[in-house]
């Protein structure tokens, strides 16, 4: 049995290692799903925000947190022209259209805001629309009338005049039967109607409407201050975090190990130079330098990765590997390799490095979360990648918008939980690996 | 005791002292060179290899042009003369900042100034007392950082070592197992737990303030001031404590267990020595130098971790300063902070070497020939 499968077999006896591996597998699955479901460029475009998200509410909590505590906060309700009843009456030089947007509102709380998106097709004269609101109890509120340009957004919930007439914010007044004096309006559940009477001044004139009553909850992870669905960032944060952690950990440990082995093998001034470089590098403060590079040059995640790896090459680990490699240099199998004529690079790469690789694996696994958190740290400081969504950037947005102060706990908790899960997964596996591969620890 | 024996003992002491001095001197020199290189690299990176100078030149030009245009005294001048005046001013400023010399020369000049801690004047920032000297700005923030990180580290260190000693005596118990199980929680850094602590203990149950160092306005009375600082320190210290404690206990426990299975400890047990004596003389004494090493290495690791924790808790220390300086692109302050960080690290490494020399007889006897 090879030492690897032997190690794996022994690893199965540690429940924490199994749990860690399951977490890592789940994260890997999520990462693969994210990359295949939303391509790289698509993810960047989505995260840039803007019109893509105009139908989502601002700062909506996840649906399940609300339902968990017995709430029945409204989801976003949409009613569009496609499903509406449309009646046309032609007149000389145009036609009159009456469409009724109908929707159910079975929730216990008021919507966050109400917008009406209008799209008109006309040659010269724009159509004119009169809007009226019908509550389930039969009462009616006039929402005014207006001329419609090609694309228009009517913010009903910000209509000051309407607010004055209703005595409450429009999204409250329109969804309750309260009169002006009522201090605590209650939601009136049922079927609402928005009737749009449009006068087209051209026979072929057309107008499409979509009413959006924004909810207070949305999806699995909620939305942020720019209406972006957090699930995009949380999903895409997974491959970014894993790739960053993995590449940084591989990059630093492997190069460090090779350099340590070369130093031990060649000895003399090579060794001395490596030792001195390591000492300089220990004194260089990593995070301040990263912060400096981020502000002065670019915050691209790949540049950061490069700097991390570059600064990690001559890390303190060299001293440790050197101590392990020094006795190996004298080992008889190396002597044998020299005798058959192996060159120095071959001895370093094929004989010395593989010998201490197993000892390195636990360190390597426990290093991954360190770098995942490093990336998050940089993002929290506002030095996250400018275009890619990452967990750290979500946390940074949340911090910048004082999410905790405003009570948007979900905004902080979900990226933090994912970070924690990643950290725990790799750390648990790493600790168990440490015991498997370091015989001195095995019985402890 | 005979005179000869006393003399021999004194000679031994002198010999040890001489070797210690040689060792210390060598290490000091090596560290100086190291700091030199580190600081020089920082200067090169912070000046973007000279690119910052171009930005600075452009800024000087606009400022001079603005100044001439805004001054009513020059309004009547013909435009050619005015341009000349602007050019003169720019030339003066360039000469004052020595921007006409190649960057490589000035970089050595900057290096010399940084090494003697003449950190120059800040471009944008100033200390709370109003000074523009980078050294004053940093000196004002340093105590806050030292207070916070000193407290947290000492707490973690002593709690971890003593808890680990206790656990290694009862190894395999439920408590021991649960500490091992909790060790992976240290994968998350302090600021991460900080966010949760702020959420729980500052917003949901407002027991502690969410950030800052003293309440606003600061209390007049000395005791009230101290207690206010303590209340503000509680959460950041707790955050660092949580993120460090389990891994520390775990590694110390493993370390003590390995050492308490050494043959000489077994022999002491066989002789029937009391547990306390075995712990003090046979386990703690020979492991003292690794303990000190790891304590100082922990300090090294935490200096740079300070930036984010301070940022999250709005603690007015070096980390927050560095971050603000970067926001203002205030190169002297950035270089100054990194230089101070490098010095702090170097001092830590030096103290480490020195303590090693005292604690480890092998270093003393070989006199730094290692």
In the predicted model, is pLDDT for residue B161 greater than 90? no
Pair (A245, A149) in one structural domain: no
With beta carbons less than 8 A apart as the criterion, state whether A162 and A170 touch: yes
* Omega within 30 of 0 (cis) for the link into B217: yes
Query: Could you report the per-residue pLDDT of B101-153, keeping only the tens digit for each?
Result: 777 787 888 788 877 877 777 777 777 777 788 888 888 888 888 888 888 88
Q: Which of A285, A409, A441 sits opposite B345 (nearest CB)?
A: A285
With beta carbons less than 8 A apart as the criterion, state whether A126 and A120 touch: yes
Candidates A16, A249, A276, A288: best to mutate against B (most CBs of B within 10 A) is A288
A221 in a structural domain: no
Q: Which residues pair with A116 in a beta bridge?
A: A154, A211
A55 in a structural domain: no
B124 in a structural domain: no
Q: Is there a contact between A380 and B312 if contact means CB atoms under 8 Å apart?
A: yes
Q: Among residues 231-290 of chain A, which lie with CB inside 8 Å of chain B? A: 276, 279-280, 282-289
| Whole-number Å distance between alpha carbons of B243 and B33 | 34
With beta carbons less than 8 A apart as the criterion, state whether B307 and A244 touch: no
Pair (A134, A249) in one structural domain: no
**Top-confidence residue, B305 or A105:** A105
Q: Where residue A38 sits, what CATH number does that domain have?
A: 1.10.3720.10
| Whole-number Å distance between alpha carbons of B317 and B41 | 24
| Whole-number Å distance between alpha carbons of A360 and A336 | 25
Q: What was the pLDDT predicted at A23?
A: 92
Q: How confident is the model at residue A27 (pLDDT cuts 50, 70, 90)?
A: very high
Pair (B271, B349) in one structural domain: yes
* pTM, 2 dp: 0.80
Pair (A81, A184) in one structural domain: yes
Candidates A21, A23, A283: best to mutate against B (most CBs of B within 10 A) is A283
Pair (A271, A399) in one structural domain: yes
A58 in a structural domain: no
| Whole-number Å distance between alpha carbons of A84 and A237 | 40
Domain that holds residue A308: 3-47+228-441
As given in the structure block, the two tokens for residue B18 are 């001489």
Q: Among residues 402-441 of chain A, which lie with CB inside 8 Å of chain B? A: 404-405, 407, 409, 412-413, 416, 419-420, 423-424, 426-428, 430-431, 440-441
Q: CB pairs below 8 Å between A and B: how many?
A: 135
B126 in a structural domain: no
Q: How confident is the model at residue B304 (pLDDT cuts 50, 70, 90)?
A: low
Pair (A389, A332) in one structural domain: yes
Number of domains in chain B: 2
Q: How far is B200 from chain A (nearest CA, A)?
A: 10
Place of tokens 């090596």: B30
Residue where a domain terminates, one of B115, B148, B182: B115
In chain B, which residue's Cα lies nearest the Cα of A380? B308
B131 in a structural domain: no
Give A82's DSSP letter. Answer: G
Query: Could you report the per-residue pLDDT of A359-369, keeping only the tens digit for each?
Result: 777 788 888 88
Mean residue pLDDT across chain B? 79
| Whole-number Å distance between alpha carbons of B138 and A318 | 33
Q: Highest-confidence range of A49-53, A411-415, B58-62, by mean pLDDT?
A: A411-415
Domain that holds residue B262: 138-359
| Whole-number Å distance between alpha carbons of B78 and B93 | 23
Pair (A357, A236) in one structural domain: yes
As given in the structure block, the two tokens for residue B352 are 């480490």
Pair (B40, B187) in one structural domain: no
In chain B, which residue's Cα lies nearest the Cα of A373? B188
B312 in a structural domain: yes
Q: Which of A285, A370, A426 sits opposite B342 (nearest CB)?
A: A285
Q: How far is A336 from chain B (nearest CA, A)?
A: 30
Pair (B340, B257) in one structural domain: yes
Averaged pLDDT, B18-37: 81
Q: Which of B333, B39, B313, B90 is nearest to B201 (CA)?
A: B313
| Whole-number Å distance between alpha carbons of A415 and A373 | 12
B123 in a structural domain: no
Pair (A255, A298) in one structural domain: yes
> DSSP letters of B77-116?
S-HHHHHHHHHHHHHHHHHHTTTTS-HHHHHHHHHHHHHT
Pair (B143, B102) in one structural domain: no
Residue where a domain terminates, one of A192, A214, A236: A214
Q: What was the pLDDT predicted at B363?
A: 56
Q: Which of B34, B187, B258 sits opposite A283 (nearest CB)?
A: B34
Q: Which of A344, A334, A366 is nearest to A253 (CA)?
A: A366
In chain A, which residue's Cα lies nearest the Cα of B325? A292
In the predicted model, is pLDDT for residue A268 greater than 50? yes
Pair (B87, B33) in one structural domain: yes
A36 in a structural domain: yes
Query: Could you report the per-residue pLDDT of A55-77, keeping only the tens digit for each?
Result: 888 888 888 888 888 778 888 88
Averaged pLDDT, B61-65: 81
Pair (B225, B106) in one structural domain: no
With contacts defined as CB-CB under 8 Å, which chain A residues touch B34? 276, 279-280, 283
Pair (B226, B302) in one structural domain: yes
With contacts defined as CB-CB under 8 Å, which chain B residues touch A423? 184, 187-188
Q: Is there a contact between B192 and A416 if contact means CB atoms under 8 Å apart?
A: yes
Is B189 in the A-facing interface, judged by CB distances under 8 Å?
A: yes
Q: Is there a contact between A399 and B312 if contact means CB atoms under 8 Å apart?
A: yes
**Top-confidence residue, A117 or B338:** A117
Pair (A193, A254) in one structural domain: no
| Whole-number Å distance between alpha carbons of A206 and A214 | 26
Query: Could you report the per-residue pLDDT of A309-346, keeping only the tens digit for each?
Result: 888 888 777 877 887 788 788 888 888 888 888 888 88
Pair (B336, B222) in one structural domain: yes
With beta carbons less than 8 A apart as the criterion, state whether A83 and A76 touch: no
B365 in a structural domain: no
As given in the structure block, the two tokens for residue B50 are 């000279």
Q: Where residue B259 sits, what CATH number does that domain have?
A: 1.10.3720.10
Q: How confident is the model at residue A441 (pLDDT cuts 50, 70, 90)?
A: low
Query: Could you report the per-residue pLDDT of B200-209, keeping only the tens digit for each?
Result: 888 888 888 8
In the predicted model, is pLDDT for residue B369 greater than 50? no
With contacts defined as CB-CB under 8 Å, which chain A residues touch B308? 287, 377, 380-381
Q: The complex's ipTM?
A: 0.73
**Top-confidence residue, A2 or B322:** B322
A276 in a structural domain: yes
With contacts defined as CB-CB under 8 Å, which chain A residues touch B349? 279, 282-283
Query: Could you report the per-residue pLDDT of B174-225, keeping only the tens digit for each?
Result: 888 788 778 878 878 888 888 888 888 888 888 888 777 777 777 888 888 8
pLDDT over 70, % of chain B: 91
Pair (B346, B210) in one structural domain: yes
Q: How far apart, in Å, are the Cα atoms of A135 and each of A129, A132, B205?
A: 20, 10, 41
Q: Which of A279, A370, A381, A284 is nearest to A322 (CA)?
A: A279
Is B242 in the A-facing interface, judged by CB distances under 8 Å?
A: no
Mean residue pLDDT across chain A? 83
Q: What was the pLDDT predicted at A28?
A: 93
Is A381 in the B-facing interface, judged by CB distances under 8 Å?
A: yes
Pair (A153, A249) in one structural domain: no
Averaged pLDDT, A115-141: 85
Q: How confident is the model at residue A22 (pLDDT cuts 50, 70, 90)?
A: very high
Pair (A79, A187) in one structural domain: yes
A60 in a structural domain: no
Q: Is there a contact between A404 and B199 if contact means CB atoms under 8 Å apart?
A: yes
Number of domains in chain A: 2
A66 in a structural domain: no
In the predicted model, is pLDDT for residue B368 greater than 50? no
Residue where a domain terminates, one of B50, B84, B115: B115
In the predicted model, is pLDDT for residue B276 greater than 60? yes
Q: How far is B211 from chain A (nearest CA, A)?
A: 12
Pair (B78, B155) in one structural domain: no
Query: Could you report the per-residue pLDDT of A4-20, keeping only the tens digit for each?
Result: 677 777 778 888 888 88
| Whole-number Å distance between alpha carbons of A54 and A157 | 15
Pair (B189, B259) in one structural domain: yes
With contacts defined as CB-CB under 8 Å, which chain A residues touch B311? 380-381
With beta carbons less than 8 A apart as the criterion, state whether A185 and A176 touch: yes
- CA quadruple A252, A254, A256, A259: dihedral positive or negative? negative
Residue where a domain terminates, one of A214, A245, A275: A214
In the predicted model, is pLDDT for residue B254 greater than 50? yes
With contacts defined as CB-CB under 8 Å, which chain A residues touch B52? 296
Pair (A175, A237) in one structural domain: no
In the predicted model, is pLDDT for residue A113 greater than 90? no
Q: What was the pLDDT predicted at B370?
A: 38
Residue where a domain terminates, one of A164, A190, A214: A214
Is B92 in the A-facing interface, judged by CB distances under 8 Å?
A: no
Is A387 in the B-facing interface, judged by CB distances under 8 Å?
A: no
Q: Among residues 298-337 of chain A, which lie with CB inside 8 Å of chain B? A: 316
Is B41 in the A-facing interface, judged by CB distances under 8 Å?
A: yes
A161 in a structural domain: yes
Pair (B187, B103) in one structural domain: no
Pair (A106, A252) in one structural domain: no
B282 in a structural domain: yes
Is A369 in the B-facing interface, judged by CB distances under 8 Å?
A: yes
| Whole-number Å distance between alpha carbons of B49 and B53 | 9
B364 in a structural domain: no
């Amino acid at each position: 049995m090879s030492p690897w499968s032997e190690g794996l077999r022994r690893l199965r006896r540690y429940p924490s290692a199994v749990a860690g591996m399951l977490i890592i597998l789940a994260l890997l699955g999520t990462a693969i799903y994210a990359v295949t479901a939303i391509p790289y460029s698509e993810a960047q475009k989505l995260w840039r925000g803007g019109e893509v998200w105009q139908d989502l509410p601002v700062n909506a909590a996840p649906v399940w947190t609300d339902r968990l505590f017995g709430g029945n906060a409204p989801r976003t309700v949409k009613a569009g022209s496609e499903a509406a009843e449309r009646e046309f009456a032609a007149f000389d030089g145009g036609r009159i259209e009456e469409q009724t947007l109908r929707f159910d509102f079975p929730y216990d709380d008021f919507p966050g805001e109400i917008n009406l998106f209008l799209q008109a097709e006309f040659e010269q004269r724009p159509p004119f629309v009169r809007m009226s609101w019908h509550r389930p109890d039969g009462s009616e509120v006039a929402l005014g009338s207006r001329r419609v340009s090609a694309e228009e957004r009517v913010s009903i919930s910000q209509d000051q005049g309407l607010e004055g007439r209703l005595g409450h914010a429009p999204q409250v007044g329109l969804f309750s039967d309260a009169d002006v004096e009522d201090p605590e309006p209650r939601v009136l559940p049922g079927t609402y109607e928005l009737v749009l009477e449009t006068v087209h001044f051209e026979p072929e004139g057309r107008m499409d409407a979509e009413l959006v009553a924004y909810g207070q909850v949305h999806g699995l992870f909620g939305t942020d201050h720019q209406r972006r669905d957090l699930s995009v960032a949380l999903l895409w944060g997974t491959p970014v975090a894993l790739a960053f952690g993995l590449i940084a950990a591989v990059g630093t440990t492997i190069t460090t190990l090779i350099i340590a082995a070369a130093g031990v093998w060649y000895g003399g001034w090579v060794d001395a130079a490596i030792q001195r470089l390591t000492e300089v590098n220990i004194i260089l403060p990593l995070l301040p330098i990263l912060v400096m590079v981020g502000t002065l040059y670019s915050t691209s995640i790949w540049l950061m990765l490069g700097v991390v790896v570059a600064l990690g090459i001559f890390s303190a680990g060299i001293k440790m590997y050197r101590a392990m490699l020094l006795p190996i240099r004298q080992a008889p199998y190396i002597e044998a390799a020299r005798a058959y004529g192996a060159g120095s690079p071959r001895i370093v790469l094929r004989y010395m490095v593989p010998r201490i690789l197993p000892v390195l694996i636990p360190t390597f696994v426990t290093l991954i979360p360190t770098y995942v958190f490093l990336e998050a740290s940089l993002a929290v400081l506002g030095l996250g990648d400018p275009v890619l969504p990452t967990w750290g950037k979500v946390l940074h947005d949340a911090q910048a918008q004082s999410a905790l102060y405003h009570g948007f706990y979900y905004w902080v908790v979900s990226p933090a939980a994912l970070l924690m899960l990643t950290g725990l997964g790799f750390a648990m596996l790493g600790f168990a690996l440490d015991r498997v591969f370091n015989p001195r620890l095995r019985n402890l | 005791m005979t005179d000869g024996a006393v003399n021999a003992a004194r000679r031994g002491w002198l010999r040890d002292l001489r070797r210690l001095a040689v060792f210390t001197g060598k290490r000091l020199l090596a560290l100086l060179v190291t700091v030199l290189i580190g600081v020089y690299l920082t200067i090169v990176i912070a000046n973007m290899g000279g690119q910052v100078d171009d930005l600075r030149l452009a800024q000087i030009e606009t400022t001079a042009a603005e100044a001439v245009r805004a001054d009513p005294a020059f309004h009547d001048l013909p435009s050619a003369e005015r341009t000349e005046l602007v050019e003169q001013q720019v030339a003066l400023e360039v000469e004052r900042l020595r921007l006409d010399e190649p960057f490589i020369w000035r970089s050595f000049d900057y290096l010399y100034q940084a090494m003697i801690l003449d950190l120059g004047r800040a471009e944008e920032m100033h200390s709370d007392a109003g000074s523009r000297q980078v050294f004053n700005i940093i000196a004002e923030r340093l105590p806050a950082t030292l207070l916070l990180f000193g407290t947290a580290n000492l707490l973690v260190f002593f709690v971890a070592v003593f808890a680990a000693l206790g656990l290694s005596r009862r190894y395999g118990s439920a408590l021991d197992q649960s500490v091992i199980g909790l060790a992976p929680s240290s994968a998350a850094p302090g600021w991460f737990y900080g966010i949760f602590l702020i959420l729980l203990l500052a917003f949901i149950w407002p027991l502690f303030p969410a950030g800052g160092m003293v309440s606003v306005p600061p209390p007049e009375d000395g005791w009230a001031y101290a207690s206010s600082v303590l209340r503000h320190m509680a959460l950041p210290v707790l955050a660092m404590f949580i993120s460090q404690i389990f891994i520390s206990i775990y590694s110390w426990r493993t370390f003590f267990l390995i050492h308490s299975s050494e043959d000489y400890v077994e022999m002491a047990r066989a002789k029937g020595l009391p547990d306390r004596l075995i712990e003090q003389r046979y386990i703690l004494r020979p492991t003292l130098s690794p303990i000190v090493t790891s304590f100082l290495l922990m300090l090294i690791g935490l200096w740079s971790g300070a930036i984010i924790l301070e940022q999250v808790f709005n603690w007015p220390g070096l980390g927050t300063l560095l971050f603000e300086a970067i926001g203002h692109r205030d190169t002297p302050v950035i270089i100054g902070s990194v230089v101070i960080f490098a010095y702090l690290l170097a001092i830590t490494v030096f103290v480490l070497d020195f303590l090693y020399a005292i604690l480890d007889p092998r270093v003393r006897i070989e006199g730094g020939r290692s």
